[in-house]
Structure 1
Amino acid sequence: MIPLVRSFEKSDYHAGRQNWDVATDEDGVIYFANTDGLLCNIFGEWTLQKLEKGGTVRALHVANDTIWVGGIQEYGYFFKNDQGSLEYKKLGDLENEIIWNIIEFENQIVFQSYLNLIFFDKATKTIHNTPFAEEFWTILEWENELWAITMQGVIGVIRDDRFYHRESFSPHLSSEVRKAFVHDSRLFIVSMDDVFVYDKNTLSRFDFWGKLDKEQFFSGGSLNKHTILLGTVTSGLLIVDMASEDISVIGTAQGLLDNTVLSVETDEDNSVWLGLDYGIAKLELKKSIYPVFANGATYHIMDVGNKTYLSTNKGAFVSENNEPFRFMEGTAGQVWRIRAIGDALYVCHNKGVFQINENHLSPAFDAVGVMDIARFGQSEYYLLSAYTGVLLARYLQGKFYIVTNLNVWGNPKLYYDAESDCIWGDTKYKPLVQFVLNTDEVEVKWHDEMERFFKTQSGLVFYNGLGLLSYESDSETFVPIEQAPFNQVAEKGISTLDIAVNNGAIAYVANDDIKLFVTLPDGTVHSYEKFISSVKNDLIKADPFLNLYNNELRIATDRGVVVFNLEYQSSAIQKKPVITSVNVGSMGTYQKFYYPFKDRTINLPEGRYNLLFQFASPYSDYEFTEFRYMLESYDKEWTEWDSQINQKEYTRISGGEYRFLLQTRVNQSVITQTELAIGIKPKWHQNLWIVLPIIILGLLVFGYVAQLIFHELKENARLNKLAYEKRLKKEAVRTKNEQLMQFLEIISHKNSFLQDLKGILTRMRNSEATRCVAKIDEELNNEKKQFLYHQLFSENNQELIVRLSKDYPALTDNDIRIITLIRTNMSSKEIAAILNISNSSFDTSRYRIRKKLGLSRDEDLNNFVRNL
C-alpha cells in the first residue's frame, strides 16, 4: 500500500532546509531540529524558536512540556510559559563539539556529543560530564538499561559511569552507526552501509531477503508490530514489512522533495513524519480514502482472477493477491486499456496491440496506436479503436490483419454485447454507434438519442443524458429502467458509471464531480459525495474512470489509483478539532497563546480586544472536513458548515465571559466539538455591583422628579380647567347679561309707554278710563314680573349678591335689586321705569343705599357698584 505523501517546502514552514531530528509530544505537536532552530508544527501552524546564539539544532527529545535541544554551539531546553509559547533556557556552551543525540534515562537527560556524555539531573538541576575511555556512535534506553554502541564496534551497557561490554560486531563495522531503535523486543542498529539486529544473544546482519543491494542508510524507527522504517541517503524512505517481507520505497517519485531522509518519527495515528535534507514530509497511511498506486496517470482498472491490471501513461502495472503493483516489462508508453477476451489478454498501446502470455508480451498489431479492442462473439473478427479510426480486423495466427476502416472517429470505447450480438461504440458524445457483423462486413448504426453506454457490475446500461435505459434487441428500442437502483440516476453530464451487484451502490462522475450513493440496510440512501470530493481535482477529466469491486470504490486519477472502502464506519471518527492559537490584540500590542493552552480560560485585563482564532483538523487531507463555530455571549447562532476556513477574527470584544466553540464534521459523520474560554475583566461601568446601586439611585431620583413633574402638570391641568370653566361661566354671564339688557330695554320702553298712557287716561276722568288706569297699575306692579327680574339678576350676579349680603347685611332685597340694575349701566330714569317708581323715589332709594354702603359724599355710587 502506498501512503499519501504531503511535502513541505522551506516557504511553507519558513525555516532552514535541513531537519536533523523530529519528535512529537503527547498533544500531537511535531518538533523538528532545524538548521535555523527549533521548528514546531501545531496541526499545520508553523512556528520557529531560536537558540540563544541562533545556531542549528541537531538533536532533540520531548518529555511532557519540555523540549530538550542540542546544537553546534550550545544545549538547553524549551519550556512552555503561561501563554503556551516556548521559552528557552540554555544549560551550557559547546566548544568544537555538536550534540547529535539526546535521550531520557531514569531521571536524567543525557546529551551525547562526539566526545562526551553530559548528564542533567532533573531533580537537582545539576550538570555533570562523565568521561569514558570509549567513544560512542549512539546511546538509547532498552529494557530499563542505558545501551551504547562504540566506534570500536562494541555493544554494551553504561552503568555507574562505566561501560560494560556485551557484544562485538564481527566483522567490524564498515561505517558509522547513525541510529539504533527497538522493534519487536530486538535492537535494530542502522549503520551507513548495513542494518544489524541484536536480541541480547545474537548479533546478525539484516539481509532484507535479498531484495536490497548497496543501499546507504541514515535514520530509522519502528512503525508497528510488523513494520520498520528506514531513511536512506539516496532512495527516500523504505517501509519494511517484516511479516510479508515486502519493501515499499517512498522517494521523490512518490512526492518527497528530497531522497535523503535525515530523521523519522511516527505519531499516534501511525502517520510518519520525515525530516529531509531539503524540506519535510508527512506520510499518511491507510485512511478511509487512500492511494494504492501512485506512479502514473491511470486510465483503466481491470481484474482477472487474482490479478489487477492498471493502464497508465507510463505503461501497464499488475498486482497479484493484493501485493504492491509492479511494472510489466515491455509496456513502457501509453497503455489505454487492457482487455480480457476469451482466454487472451490484450494491451491497447500507443504502439499497437500486445498480447500477454504468462507475463510476457508479444506484439499482435503494430501499424498504429490502439485505444480499445472488442471481438464479435467467437468469430475471428475484431474491432480496433485506433488512432486512425475504428478498424475491422481479422485475427489469424496471433496477428491482427486490417479488413477495412469503418471511418468511425473519436476513439470510441468498445464493448461486445452478447445478448444483442453486436459491439457498441462510445465516443463520449452523441450519437452512440452500434456495429453489427454480417458475415465479413460490418453494418454501422447510429443512435442519435443515446449518448453513452456503461458496462457496470450489474450489467450493460445506456444513457441518454437524462437517465439509464436498457436495449431490447427484438424491437431494437431503448427502454427506461424503472427499478432501483438504476432509476436513482437522473443527472446530466455523466461520463463514467458503475453499479454494484449486491449492495445497491452507485458511483459515477457527472460534470467532473464524483457521486457515490449506497443503500443502507434500512432502505435509506446515503450520499458520500462530499466525503470523496477531495479526489475530484485529481480525475483525468477527458476520460475519467471508476469502478466498484469487493466493497471498494476504485478511482483512477492523474497520479494513480485511490480507494474508498464502502464498509468504512464514519461514526468511528471521534477526534476533536484543534484550536491551534489565539492572537490577542489591543491598542497596537499583540500576544499569542498556543495550543495546548495551559489554562482552560485565557484571562485578560479590562479593555477591548481583537481575537484571532486559528484552528485545524487532526485528520488526513483526504478526509472531507467541515468547520463551524460561534463565540458564545457574542454570536447568536452557529455559522454555516465550511470546509475552506481555518481562522476567525472578532474585533473590539469588550469585558465579559466568552467561549469560542468549534465543531468539526468529518466525512459528514459525527460532529465533535472543542472549546476555549476567554475572560475579559469588565470596566467599572460593566460591574453589576457598582452599576446596580447607581441605577437604583437614578431610578429613585427619576421617580421623584417625575412625581414632581406629574404633580405640577396635574395642578396646571386643574388650574387650566378652572380658568376654562371660569371663561365659560363669564361667557355665559355675558350672554345672559346681553339677553337681560335687551329684555330690560323692552320692559323699559313698555313701562314708559304705559306711564304715558296712564297719564292720558287719568285726565279723562271717566269710569272706563279709571278701569284702564287700574289695569295699567296692575301690570306695572306685577309681582311675577318682579320675581322674574329678581331671578334673572340673581342667577347672573350670584356671587355679587352673596358678597353684598355678607358684607352689607343692612341691604334689603329691593336695595340689592337696585344695585344689580345700576351695574347694567342703565340710566336712573330707565331703572325707575323698570321699578315703576318715580324718579324722586329712585333718588331717595339711591340715598339710602349710599348710607348703607357707607359711601362718602365724594364717592360715586355708580362707580362703586361697577367695581364690586
Structure 2
Amino acid sequence: MNIMLRTKFLVLLLLMLFSGMSAQVKNIGLPKIINYKKSDYNGGSQNWDIGQDKNGNLYFANTSGLIQFNGTSWSISSIPNETVRSLKIDASGKIYVGGYNEFGYYATNEKGKLIYHSLTHLIGQNSKNIIDFVWKTHIVNGAVFFQTFYKTYIYKDGKVEILEAPNRFQFSFVVNNTLYFQDIVQGLLEYTNGKLIPLKGTEIFNSTEVWGLLPFQDNQLLVVTQDNGLFISDSNGVKPWLCEANDFIVANNSLGGRILADKFIVLNSVLDGIIICDLNGKIIQHINNRKGLQNNTALSSFIDNSSNLWLGLDNGICFINENSPFSYLGTSYGLGAVYGSAVFEGNLYVATNQGVFKHDWKKTFKEESFKFLEGTTGQAWNIQEFDGELFCSHNRGLFLISGGKQGRFLDNKRGYLNVKKIPGRPGFLIASNYHGFAILEKTAAGWQFRNQIDGFNISDSKFTTDGVNVWLRKGSVYRLKLSNDLRNFTTISTYTSPGGKLKDIQSVQDINGAVYFQSDNRFFIYEPVKDQFVEDKKMTALFKNVPKIRYCFQDNKGNIGYFFGKSSMGMLIKMPDGNYRNVQSPFSSLTGNMVYFFESVNTVDNSNIFIGVTEGLVHYNPQLQNIYPQKPNAFIRSFTFSGDTLITGNLKAVKEVHLSYKANNVKFTFSSPIYDNPENILFSYKLEGFEDKWSAWTKNPVKEYTNLREGDYRMQLRVMDSFGKISDPDVISFTIAPPFYRHPLAYLAYILLIAFSVYYIRRRIKVKIRKNKYYETLEQRRLYLERETKIKQEQLELEKEIERLKNEQLKVKILTKDKELVSNSLQVVKKNKMLNGIIHKMKDLETESMDDATKQRFNRVYKTIVKELNTDKSWNNLEKHIRNVHFDFLKRLKDKFPAITPREMDLATYLLMNMSTKEIAEIMNISDGGVELARYRLRKKLNLTRKDNLTGFLMNI
C-alpha cells in the first residue's frame, strides 16, 4: 500500500512539475515562429478570431470565410456575405460564427462536411437588414451571444432574443464565465440575469475602445485599451497599470490580448507585433516583423491546447511555439554562423564567422543586444575556458579574452582550431592549428605559447589525446606519440579499421576520460601493449538504438551528444541514477541548420544549453522537455471512394462503410493537430485485409489503394511527433462488396445454374442418346437399304451388263451372220451372173435344130434358170445387210462429212470391207474404171491427197 501511495505521489509530483514547466515563456531568445500566408490557406488577408475544437483542429474567422487547419491541410467554408468576424466552438463541436448581416453555426453532415446553418431567420427578415457586423461571439451558460454595435442576439433553445445596447456597444468579453460589454456612454457593463450592470469607474473608457478584458490577480480585471494603455479594474474602481508593458501599448496601440498559463500576458499591438509580459508588466518577449513576424498588426491571439500561441494578423496567420524547450537567437540578434560559445565572467561569448560577440548573461536577451568585441574580426573557430581564462581559436591566431575585451595573443603566426587539456600533464595545453599542433604552458606570467610540435603538420579541430598519444582522424586515424618534452612526435602510426568486419574508424572522441574509436555505432578502446582495438560492450550498448553517428562528445554535465546524418543531432541525457535517456526527436527541428563538421554544443548548466547553427544560436532547456508528453492524436482525415468523400476527421464516429465493387479504388488523407514541428510529423498505416505489416514512417499524408478485392478492411493510422511519441491508432472499417458475379447470391445462382445445367445436360444426353439410337437405327436401316439398293443396282447393272454382253454377242453373231450373208450374197451374185451368162449363151443356141424332147428339156431348163434369176432378191438383201453391219461407221462418216452421197457411202463401206476393185465393180454394176473414178471422187470429198491411204483413213473413222 505504501509503495502504491509513493508511486501515486511521484506521478503527481511529476505531473505538477510538468504543469509548471509546460508553458514557460523563455527570456533567452525567441520561440520558433511559423508564418502562414494567404497563398497557404487560400483565404483573405485578415484573421479576426481563432478557435480550436476538441480534436485539436484550428479555426480562423477570415475575411473570406471560416478557415480550418488540421495540422496538415487547410480548408475554407463560406457564409453569406463571406466575411467571418467572430467564432466560438461549443462542447458538441458546433462552430458559431458571426459576419456581416449574418450569424449562425457550422455542423458536420453525415459525410463530415461542414454545413452552415443560418439563424438570422429567427429574428425576421426586417431585422436581418440591420444586423451589421457581428464583432464578437460568446458562449455563456449554454447561450450563444452574437454582439453587434447596437444589439446582441442571444440564441438558446432554438430561439433568438435581442439585447438592446443602452447607447452603443463597442466590444464584449467573457472573463471567468461572466459576460462584459463596453458601452460608449456607460463604460463597462456586466451582464447578469439578463441585465446590464455598470462597473464602477469604467466611464473613463468612453473616450477609447476597450479591445481586451483579461482576468488578473485578486479577482481584478486587466483592461486593455486601444490607445490609452493598460488599466486594473476592481470593486473600488479603475487605475492605470504603470509598467513596461503599458509603455509599449501606449506607444503602439493594442488590439487585445490573452492570458498564457496563468503566468504571462500576451498583448497584441497595431504597430509593433506582440509582447509577452509577466504579471508585473515586465516584457519577457517582444516579437515583431524584424524577429520573424510577417505582419506587425495582430488582430487576434489564441492559446491552443498545447499552450502555444496563434496570431491572427492583418495579413496572414502566425504560430509561435512558446511551449518548446528551444528558443532562437538569430539574425535579429546580429549573429551569423556560430562555431562555439561559452559563459565567462558574467558574459555569454559567441564565436562566429564574423568574429566574437558577447552578451551580459544576467540581462534580458533583446534584439541587437549582442556586442561585438573589437579586434576579433574574422573567423572564430572556437571559444573555451581553461583554468579561469577564456581562449579563442581564431583564423588570425590564438588569443585570450578577459574583461569583456580581446586580450593578448598567445600566437598570431598561424590560425588555430581547438585547444584541449593533456591528461596527466597539468599546466600544459595542446592546440591544433593550421600547421599541426602546438603546446601551451602556464607560467607565472600566465599562459604562453611554448612550442610547435615537430614531426607532423596535419591537424583537425576534432582531435583528442590520452596524455601519451594524440589521436587524429584525417581519412585514416593517426596515432601521434608525444615525446616526454612535448616537442615532437616520436612515432606516427595509422589505422583504418578497428578490426573484424568493420570497414573503418568513423570518429575519435574523449568520453569519461577515455579515448574511444567509433565504427558503425560500436565503440573501441586502444590497448597499447597489443597495439589493437578492443570493443567496449557497455559503451556500444548505449548507442544500440541510436542512428548511425558521425561523431559524439561529452559535455561538462556528463551528457553525451551525438551527430548523425547531415547536421542532425541527439543527446543521451544523463539521469540521476547513472542511466541515460535518449533525446533525439526534439532536435529534429535543427536538422540541416547546424554548421556541418563544426557543430558546437555548450552546456552551461542543466537549464541552459547553447547550440550553434548557421543563423545564430539556439537555446535549449531540457528541463522544459516533457518527460511524459501526451500522445499525439492521429486522424484519418478523409476517406475518398468512387467520386465521394467522407471527411472522417470531422465526425465523432464513423460507421462501417459499405462500398460497391466499382468503388474499390480508395484514398485516405491523414492529419494530426501537431503544430510546433509540422515538418517532423510522420505517419504509418496498415490496411488490415490487404497488408499485414505497418508501413515505414513517412511524411506523406496521403495513401491510395487501387483494385482492392471484395472483403472487410480496417484502415489503421499512427502518428509519431517530433518527440518520438507514437499515437494510438485511428481506425476506419469498410467493406467492399464483391462484383455481381462474385456475390453470394451469384454463387447460389451459379450452384443452381450448374445443377440445372447438369440436369439439363444429362437430360439432353439421354435425349441425344435416344435420338442417336433412333438415328443409328435409321442410319443402319438406311445403310441396309442403300446396300440392298446398291446390291439391286449392281444386280441390275450386272443384268444390264449381261444383257449388253448378250446384245453385243448377238450383234456379233448378227454381224457375223450379216458378213456370212454378204459373202453368200456375193456368191449368189456371182452365181446369178454365171446363170445370166448361161442364159445368154442358151439364147445363142439354135433351138430349131433340137428335137422336141431336147427342146422341151432345154426350155424347161431355160425357164428354171430365168425363174431362179427372177425370184432371187439377194442383191437387195446384200445392200441391206451391208448397211446393218456398218451402221455405226456410216453414221460417223456422215457426221464428219455431211456432203457425202449414199453411193459414196456404199463405196466407202465396200472399201472398209477390203473388197477388190473387181468385186466392187460387180456389186455396183460398174466397170473397173468406174470404180477408180468413184475412188478418186471419194478422196476429194474426204480431203485426202494422193499420198494418203484411203482404206486406212476409213478404218480410223
**Residue equivalent to 1:578:** 635
Percent identity between matched residues is 20
1:723-738 to 2 correspondences below 5 Å: none
SS at match of 1:538: coil
The structural deviation recorded for 1:653 is 6.1
Deviations 1:261-291 (A, max 9, x none): 222112222232221223222233445xx42
Answer whether contact 1:465 1:492 (CA < 8 A) is retained: no
The structural deviation recorded for 1:31 is 0.8
Answer whether contact 2:350 2:358 (CA < 8 A) is retained: yes
Select which of 171, 175, 182 maps to 1:149. Answer: 182
Deviations 1:329-381 (A, max 9, x none): 334976532211211223446677675546x3343349687554467899998
The structural deviation recorded for 1:640 is 2.0
1:126-525 to 2 correspondences below 5 Å: 126-128=160-162, 130-133=164-167, 135-151=168-184, 154-159=187-192, 163-168=196-201, 176-182=209-215, 185-193=219-227, 194-201=229-236, 203-208=238-243, 213=248, 214-242=251-279, 247-252=284-289, 255-286=292-323, 290-295=325-330, 297-300=337-340, 302=342, 311-312=351-352, 316=357, 328-331=370-373, 335-348=380-393, 355-357=400-402, 360-365=404-409, 371-373=417-419, 412-413=460-461, 420=467, 432=478, 448-449=494-495, 456-461=510-515, 463=517, 480=534, 482=536, 484-485=538-539, 495-499=550-554, 507-509=562-564, 514=569
Q: Distance in 1 between matches of 2:211 and 2:293?
A: 21
The structural deviation recorded for 1:30 is 0.8
Change (3 A) 1:67 1:629: same
Answer whether contact 1:469 1:478 (CA < 8 A) is retained: no
Q: Distance in 2 between matches of 1:487 and 1:126?
A: 68
**Residue equivalent to 1:541:** 596
1:18-167 to 2 correspondences below 5 Å: 18-54=46-82, 56-63=83-90, 64-72=92-100, 74-91=102-119, 97-113=132-148, 115-128=149-162, 130-133=164-167, 135-151=168-184, 154-159=187-192, 163-167=196-200
Select which of 647, 650, 664 maps to 1:593. Answer: 647
Q: CA RMSD in A?
A: 5.3
> Which amino acid letter does the alignment assign opposite residue 162 of structure 2?
H
Q: Distance in 1 between matches of 2:593 and 2:203?
A: 52
> Which amino acid letter does the alignment assign opposite residue 507 of structure 1?
Y
Q: Distance in 1 between matches of 2:164 and 2:667?
A: 49
Q: Distance in 2 between matches of 1:504 and 1:564?
A: 13
**Residue equivalent to 1:818:** none
Answer whether contact 2:464 2:510 (CA < 8 A) is retained: no
> Which amino acid letter does the alignment assign opposite residue 756 of structure 2?
V
The structural deviation recorded for 1:224 is 1.2
Answer whether contact 1:298 1:561 (CA < 8 A) is retained: no
Answer whether contact 1:226 1:243 (CA < 8 A) is retained: no
Change (3 A) 1:686 1:471: closer
Change (3 A) 1:706 1:127: same
Change (3 A) 1:709 1:243: farther
Q: Distance in 1 between matches of 2:274 and 2:338?
A: 24
The structural deviation recorded for 1:33 is 1.5
Answer whether contact 1:217 1:233 (CA < 8 A) is retained: yes
Q: Distance in 1 between matches of 2:491 and 2:554?
A: 27
Change (3 A) 1:652 1:226: same
Change (3 A) 1:420 1:32: same
Q: Distance in 2 between matches of 1:80 and 1:533?
A: 36
Change (3 A) 1:581 1:61: same
Mean alpha-carbon deviation: is it higher for 10-19 or for 697-706?
Answer: 697-706
1:585-734 to 2 correspondences below 5 Å: 585-586=642-643, 590-597=644-651, 599-601=653-655, 603=657, 608-609=662-663, 610-619=665-674, 620-621=676-677, 625-633=681-689, 635-651=690-706, 658-665=713-720, 672-678=728-734, 688=744, 690-691=745-746, 694-705=749-760
Answer whether contact 1:496 1:546 (CA < 8 A) is retained: no
Q: Distance in 1 between matches of 2:205 and 2:94?
A: 38
1:545-560 to 2 correspondences below 5 Å: 545-546=600-601, 556-558=612-614, 560=617
**Residue equivalent to 1:836:** none
Change (3 A) 1:715 1:404: farther
Q: Distance in 2 between matches of 1:701 and 1:132?
A: 88
Q: Distance in 2 between matches of 1:395 and 1:13?
A: 63
Change (3 A) 1:236 1:15: same
The structural deviation recorded for 1:646 is 0.9
Q: Distance in 1 between matches of 2:464 and 2:299?
A: 55
Change (3 A) 1:421 1:303: farther
Answer whether contact 2:523 2:539 (CA < 8 A) is retained: no
Deviations 1:219-244 (A, max 9, x none): 31122132332233344343334499
TM-score (norm 2): 0.61
Indicate the structure (1 or 2) with the bigger Cα radius of gyration.
2
> Which amino acid letter does the alignment assign opposite residue 105 of structure 1?
V
Q: Distance in 1 between matches of 2:574 and 2:760?
A: 75
The structure that is strand-richer by fraction is 1
**Residue equivalent to 1:15:** 43
Change (3 A) 1:448 1:103: same
SS at match of 1:15: coil
Deviations 1:483-537 (A, max 9, x none): 5216877999964312589999673436655466789999999977778656433
Answer whether contact 2:32 2:327 (CA < 8 A) is retained: no
The structural deviation recorded for 1:481 is 5.6
Answer whether contact 1:498 1:546 (CA < 8 A) is retained: no
Mean alpha-carbon deviation: is it higher for 562-571 or for 644-653?
Answer: 562-571
Aligned length: 705
Unpaired runs of at least 5, structure 1: 720-868
Q: Distance in 1 between matches of 2:62 and 2:198?
A: 35
Change (3 A) 1:429 1:629: closer
